[in-house]
A = this chain, B = another copy of it.
Amino acid sequence: VVRSINPRTNENFGPEFLDTTKEEVDSIILRSKTAFSTWSSASADQRASVLHAVAAAIDSASAELVEIADLETGLGSPRLPGEVARTTFQIRQFSEALRAGKFVSPTIDDAVEGAPPSGHPQLVRTFQALGVVVVFGANNFPFAFSVLGGDTASALAAGCTVIAKAHPSHPQTSTKVFEIASKEFAAHGYQDVLTLIHGLEAGTQVLKSPDVSAGAFTGSRNGGRALFDIAVSRKNPIPFYGELGSVNPVVALQSGLGDTTAFANAYLDSLLLGNGQFCTNPSLLFVPSESDVSGVIQEQISLRSSTPFLSPGTKNLHDLNRDRLTQVLGATPAMGKLGSEIGLFTAPAVITISAEQAMEHSDAYQIECFGPTGIVVTYKDMSQLLLLLAKLDGALTGSIFSTADDVDALSVIKTLQLKVGRISWNAWPTGVAVSVGQHHGGPYPASTSSIHTSVGLHAIERFLRPVAFQGFPSELLERVQ
């Protein structure tokens, strides 16, 4: 059983949501499997039209959805209306890609006369949707990474059906989005293309089912790893695309700092956006010790207030991790202000340590502290900096602040390239463009499948299995694709 909690008051409200029972889950899997036959064999154009209609229905309900989500998440405006727009933009982008034949069109590899290895029959490389996919919705994106978020949109676009597990921190939002979408699917003659379950046990039951072909997840490292372990330990292992959060490095060279007060405030803006609850949060900032910027950051944070945490669990975990961090590092955080005495608030903080301290605790200082807490590392020279960067865990994204003619920039970039999935130039990491050139994923522990992205058009590739047709007559080929 789960009930919504208003983060601004830490009070329950609204109906109780029961965990989906074992029998209900069995029935949902069966229905999703049946729906897969129809949905996966619909043409790309047909799927595109339905997805367009679903996006339009969500847009029409935006105001209502934002109101529910705001009560459940405290994320407010402009964030929530923006997130609904992002969600439908994502769906439309996949839908337009389908119409343009991108990603799903076959490659025709004409026959070559002669003996092998150069000679070969005609091969037509087509794509087959994987099957039923289970999507575990995220805590911090009630729309864009939840029931109808990027994982779901890309899987549906590929021709998979989706069983979405609602995140317990926003059951009403999840249910409402699901209802709007399923009504629209049904209106177009597609039942059970999207189904919804509640409860972790229901989620693991689906993930273990032999009728389920892939999993996708956005959330914590521990949660994601536990689900990944289930997916790969099955009798028939299945792909599990987990985006497990990240400790993202931002490197400021002296040449890239500019006005240190402006820099400090831009850093705090990014760090504290959405109460720091972003997987792209600039968790680790490396600044030159010769600059006054770390001192300025410590001054500036005192002017900042926190916004609410998404859920009591998120707040508790953050507070625990921050305590561990400060204890292990033996550092005193510079504190901001508590946003409110009631509700799920914790004052923001920045923990400043030297490169030597970071070196001494090279694992401990990379604990993800999901929320309004940043670590600033002051380095004396490039050799210290590069040594620290080389010891970083995999991350989703990294940034470098520098001038283009700074001779040190290249070695920083080359080190970051081995560690992260996206590198930004003189820009903060929060804000992930939904675009074909995007890559949102990184070496483990950032994600469980670093060669795939969960944002942008390439996300669809995770759910498409190539099938080569060898020597088929063209009239038959047309009928099987």
A positions within 8 Å CB-CB of B: 41, 82, 85-86, 89-90, 107-109, 112, 116-118, 120-125, 128, 130-131, 228-229, 232-233, 236-239, 394, 404, 409-410, 413-414, 417-418, 420-427, 431, 433-439, 441, 443-445, 448-451, 453, 458, 461-462, 464-473, 475-476, 479-480
CA distance A90 to B116 in the complex (A): 11
CA distance A239 to B237 in the complex (A): 13
Most buried by B among A85, A394, A444, A479: A444
Closest chain B CB from A464 CB (angstroms): 7
Residues in B whose Cβ lies below 8 Å from that of A467: 417, 420-423, 439
CA distance A107 to B456 in the complex (A): 13
CA distance A103 to B230 in the complex (A): 32
User: Are B433 and A116 within 8 A (Cβ)?
Assistant: yes
Closest chain B CB from A37 CB (angstroms): 9
29 CB < 8 A contacts A-B: A82-B117, A86-B116, A108-B437, A109-B436, A109-B438, A112-B435, A116-B433, A120-B434, A123-B433, A123-B438, A130-B450, A130-B451, A131-B418, A228-B237, A232-B232, A232-B237, A239-B451, A404-B473, A421-B465, A421-B467, A422-B467, A423-B469, A424-B470, A425-B473, A426-B471, A437-B468, A438-B468, A439-B466, A453-B466
User: Are B468 and A423 within 8 A (Cβ)?
Assistant: yes
Closest to A394 in B: B236
Residues in B whose Cβ lies below 8 Å from that of A436: 107, 109, 125
Closest to A451 in B: B465
Total copies of this chain within the assembly: 2
User: Are B471 and A438 within 8 A (Cβ)?
Assistant: no
Closest to A433 in B: B120
User: Are B85 and A117 within 8 A (Cβ)?
Assistant: yes
Closest to A455 in B: B468
Closest to A40 in B: B418
Most buried by B among A120, A238, A433, A468: A468
CA distance A123 to B31 in the complex (A): 40
Known: A109-B438, A131-B418, A236-B394. 13 other contacts (CB 8 A): A116-B434, A120-B433, A121-B427, A123-B437, A125-B439, A404-B476, A409-B476, A410-B480, A423-B469, A423-B470, A443-B465, A451-B465, A458-B466
Residues in B whose Cβ lies below 8 Å from that of A409: 476
User: Are A480 and B124 within 8 A (Cβ)?
Assistant: no
CA distance A430 to B199 in the complex (A): 47
